[in-house]
Amino acid sequence: MMDVAKLARRIHEQVIHWRRALHEIPEFIFDLHKTSQFARGRLAEMGIESKVIAKTGIVAVIEGVEQGRTIALRADMDAIALREETGLPYTSTHDGYMHACGHDAHTAMVLGAAKILSENRSHFKGNVKLLLQPAEEHQGGARQMIEEGCMENPKVDVILGLHVGPLFEQVGTGVIGIHHGTIMASIDTFFVKVLGRGGHSAMPHQSVDPITTASAMIGGLQTIVSRELNPSHPAVVTIGSIKGGTSPHIIPEVVKFGGTVRTVHKNDRTYIEKRIKEVCKSIAGANRAEVEIDYRNYYPTTVNNREFTRFFLKSVEKVVGKENIVELDEPHMGGDDVAYFLERVPGNYFVLGSNNPNKGIIYPNHHPKFNIDEDVLWIGPAVFAQAAFDFLNSGFERLA
């Protein structure tokens, strides 16, 4: 029997090298030209042909010894707009952008899995499809890749993806976190513009104050979750920005604020959108103001197929052992556009713990000092490759 973990450890230093090279060239949304070129170059060195879709996304197929099913391995490649403060020798060379969410590691680990699988094509039947996507952090690159046919020719049967970082406290360094069901929330964003009538702050009766109106709206929105939803349903309404006014002595004409909504249950998502609009409109009317609401539905919930997850769990055990697996009970209220892939086919999105307090690697994703313990980078390629071998060569057929 092939020792996939041993194969992954052999290429560990190479995966670290790839991750560091990618870390130096963070790029934003769909403008991943250097990143895409780097990844395609490494695939070419492995003898794997690739093509570009969704502007800078990559699709590649590793064919096995005979025809069969297809498993997809997905990695997101984009960075975020943040100035890096890690002081690493391979720090970002693109000022104002940083791989602060670990997508450099995701890409490097899928490349590592590709190397293992491409060198062992004779040990599996069917296909491994590599999906390296742009724009996870903004605009939903996964959806555009799907629209451009990444799930076809050959048709994908199941999909795997992973995320590094301290997303779940109980998932320690080098530990795999797996959830049976919804692992991440849906994401919506809303923008509210309150239109009043400006004037002198000493004569408020001659004005319509958009600041007090906006304040009442913000307070009202906070009670939707606390007083209108089932307390056992995870949900978040957070106001993240508010802008208005130029002087303590002037009542402004306009106040703007924006927020995010995170839900796990589909009915809650619909209900909160409806209530945000109703609350803001009612409070505006009560305060003689007008309001404009721009509500945007972004990513759906990330839902792991339960039956496939039970199958996948056995592959993970072969790599890290039962003692290094945590089965998660609750979802993370963050979101990920891998959800679009998982709406199309069964699969699993799992977590690899990469913080290490003993090394001072303690910062959360999206922090300017975020980093990962590179000692865990062999685990992702090993899990991906082991699951691919097991799925393509097994008799596992039924996916609920």
Task: Give the neighbor-by-neighbor strand order of the sheet with 176-179.
Answer: 50-53, 57-63, 127-133, 70-76, 158-164, 347-352, 176-179, 325-328
Pairwise CA distance, residues 128 & 120, whole Å: 12
Return the structure tokens found at 249.
């002595």
The encoded tokens of residue 151 equal 């799930």
Decide if 58 contacts 130 (C-beta within 8 A).
yes
The DSSP element (H or E) to which 142 belongs, if any, is helix 141-147
312, 318, 322, 327 alpha-carbon torsion, rounded to 10°? -20
3-state DSSP assignment of residue 255: strand
Of the candidates 97, 299, 340, 349, the residue annotated as catalytic is 299
229 three-state secondary structure: coil
Length of the chain: 400
| Residue listed under structure tokens 């539905």 | 297
d(C-alpha 281, C-alpha 213), whole Å: 11
Whether residue 299 lies in the annotated active site: yes
CA 113 to chain CA centroid, nearest Å: 20
State how beta strands 186-195 and 235-244 pair: unpaired
Q: Chain-centre distance of CA 166, in angstroms?
A: 13
User: Could you tell me if 308 and 201 are in contact, meaning their C-beta atoms sit under 8 angstroms apart?
Assistant: no
Residue type, 66: E
| 177 vs 118: CA distance, rounded Å | 27
Say how far apart CA 329 and CA 94 lie, in whole Å: 39
Q: How far apart are CA 385 and CA 156, in angstroms?
A: 16
Could you give the CA distance from residue 74 to residue 87 in angstroms, rounded to a whole number? 29
Residue 374 bears catalytic tag: yes
Distance from CA of residue 2 to its chain's centroid?
32
**Residues noted as catalytic:** 299, 374
